[in-house]
Chain A
């Protein structure tokens, strides 16, 4: 019993830690895609965020400055995307892909020029990483069955960005359902002409959305290199940007289902890690490569089979041109 609980808690803990950057990135894309701007450049923006967070934290010793740098870099890239797609009505997929390719090369190059450690940043000492939040009362509660261990393993000592992410999810739900901004954002992704003729600026709204995307992907990147990890390594996003996009589609562009999708992907990843090298009944030890495939196989299966018809916001991917 105690053992099973322990395993479950470890899995849950791992799930939350893996899910955090996915949720941040998926919600980042939620804002921009609901406003009608497709963003496959999440990966690149996250990677830029990861690099600048680690580089600045390593140089200054201050993780908060790192977080600021990550957000700044990511927003700058988001603005490039906006400039290409909103102002100049360029192709959104091409622009996003260009950002991914640019950063994949640029980040290690900058890291090499800056730190001379083969495209990485130095390992960050504890105080240069974003802190965990220690909650009171762990000892007092530890005697209580279930609640005690859950509190100790899962809730206490969670990274500050995990808490931020929880806040983000709740806030996003509120923004989308209750706020003026959310109403306008959803409208501009469905029918920008309606927004335009209602006397609102399509361009302004879409830029706002894209900037929020930049902020959130920056935070996601900072989480990878200065909260979850302890430094930047080449390609450290490892497809998480695309996975987040898949979660968004799986969640049909809605906040709660998207959160659920992210948690599901993270959970399979946590299971995958635990299964590595563990002999299973009947099949024995499965080669690690197969197990690592699990989250991706799941993505393909879910997207192909179980999502049903995912209806994207009507105007997503289409630059706004006034109708005749």
Chain B
């Protein structure tokens, strides 16, 4: 990383004293940051630190309550994305802004059609996109509907959209959250190619590894403020973590060796089909003992999600047997449901907290008892006992440090990490014998990751059985007592965590080397 930005050139992008309030919430306080031209600039911070907010202000998507924005040293007035695009700022949002049924070409063209009719613009765009694809490795099939593309390709479409509009500054909000490791590598190659061509890149992420690997400079935010601006070469993961959270953070999980007890979950020959009838789990057998964490590693889309959902009673089995504490569950189909399993002491933290784990329109206190709403503790003779709900949720919020600590706030108004904590609290505080956990720390900041990991280990030490599915290799390696690797619907091997280096796991996950 040998970029020495020319000192005489003003920063490509600069914000000075930007403030933003959401009601009483001061989301950005005097945010000042400068991004040198031709560099990749990281922005990190806890969930809710205000990273997305400052970037959407720069992009004109939200109005600021004061402060100024400068591009190449000149103050600019960005009141809408149109203004931002006009001064060369493009943005790839955390949730993609694509029209699914449109083709890639149509998506790129939208808003930059170049005429009342489409024909001429289409031809021009096609030629230009082919050039961009060649220069930056941004290959996508221009005539496929965007909705049919994998996430990685959709993200490339977003980047193409920005570049086609002539963006010199590209902002990406948590671009790697949904990508597989291969897609992430591809993205990073693209971003480096952009830097090579003199473009400026701003990237928000929670993954310190990516910051160290990719960026030239980092801005750290905490509670709406910029707390540090440092050159990446002169910092370390530990220092960044401390700056973010305001205290020392353990990047490694501390745990004693497991002391496994009797088998809690025994699965044999499990087969599961997805919604389209395609077999996604093709005969899986595994055992999880009391007091151990079994991690399932794999590139997403290899059947892990379906496996977890089937075990949680959310998907019918196409075959196989499932035993809980020695008792065959498939023999009693009416108990092998999401509800029946709850009663048997199975907790489930679903992969998709927004769609499956929460009802985002419900208040936090209501979300905190989903699936347990029949529990007499929360019910009076006729109506629900709101007082009990509130107290229960407030206690959980205290224990899990959910911010803001307001049980009456709708779940949608919490940041991602805090939503995750609400779900975790609900599932873990019911004292399950078996906990099924999917992607527990997706989109979650490192302070919260540390906390979640500690809770999972503590639960294990109480003698609970935990089955963990995650696409984060670091997480799998840090938490698991045994690692199973899944590829194309089958378990292709088992590794002890101390033998599991990244290369070996990577090869197994790619289906190359079977349990070498």
Which A positions have Cβ atoms within 8 angstroms of B? 178-181, 183-184, 186-187, 190-191, 193-200, 314, 322-324
Contact = CB atoms under 8 A, between A and B. Distances in A.
25 contacts: A178-B117, A178-B119, A179-B117, A180-B115, A180-B116, A180-B118, A183-B110, A183-B118, A184-B110, A190-B100, A190-B102, A191-B97, A191-B98, A194-B97, A194-B98, A194-B99, A195-B110, A195-B111, A196-B81, A197-B81, A197-B97, A199-B81, A199-B82, A199-B111, A200-B111
Contact of A194 (B59, B80, B110, B115): B110
Nearest to A323: B95
Nearest to A181: B116
Contacts of B306: none
B119 A187 contact: no
A179 B114 CA distance: 11
A322 B61 contact: yes
Q: Which of A184, A191, A199, A324 has the most CB of B within 10 A?
A: A199
B113 A180 contact: yes
Contacts of A178: 117-119
Interface in B34-84: 59, 61-62, 80-84
Contact of A190 (B59, B82, B99): B99
Given A198-B161, A199-B85, A179 B118 contact: yes
Interface in B137-189: 161
Contact of B62 (A184, A191, A322): A322
Contacts of B110: 183-184, 187, 194-195, 198, 200
Contacts of A191: 97-100
A47 B36 CA distance: 63
A207 B116 CA distance: 19
Contacts, number: 73
A47 B210 CA distance: 63
Nearest to A197: B97
B433 interface: no
A187 B113 CA distance: 13
B261 interface: no
B315 interface: no
A198 B111 contact: yes
Interface in B98-130: 98-102, 106-107, 109-113, 115-119, 121
- The 8 A-B pairs of least Cβ separation, nearest first, read A198-B111, A199-B82, A180-B113, A194-B97, A197-B97, A199-B81, A190-B99, A187-B99
A152 to B, nearest CB: 39
B294 interface: no
Contacts of A180: 113, 115-118, 121
B93 interface: yes
Nearest to A177: B118
Contacts of A195: 110-111
B161 to A, nearest CB: 7
A238 to B, nearest CB: 35
Contact of A187 (B80, B102, B112, B412): B102
B85 to A, nearest CB: 5
A197 B62 contact: no
B91 interface: yes
A183 B109 contact: yes
A322 B60 CA distance: 12
Nearest to B112: A198
Contacts of B121: 180
A134 to B, nearest CB: 35
A194 B107 contact: yes
Contacts of B101: 190
A180 B106 CA distance: 10
A202 B95 CA distance: 18
A196 B99 CA distance: 12
A179 B111 CA distance: 12
A194 B118 CA distance: 18
Given A180-B117, A196-B97, A199-B85, 8 more contacts: A180-B115, A193-B95, A194-B98, A194-B99, A197-B59, A197-B93, A322-B62, A324-B412
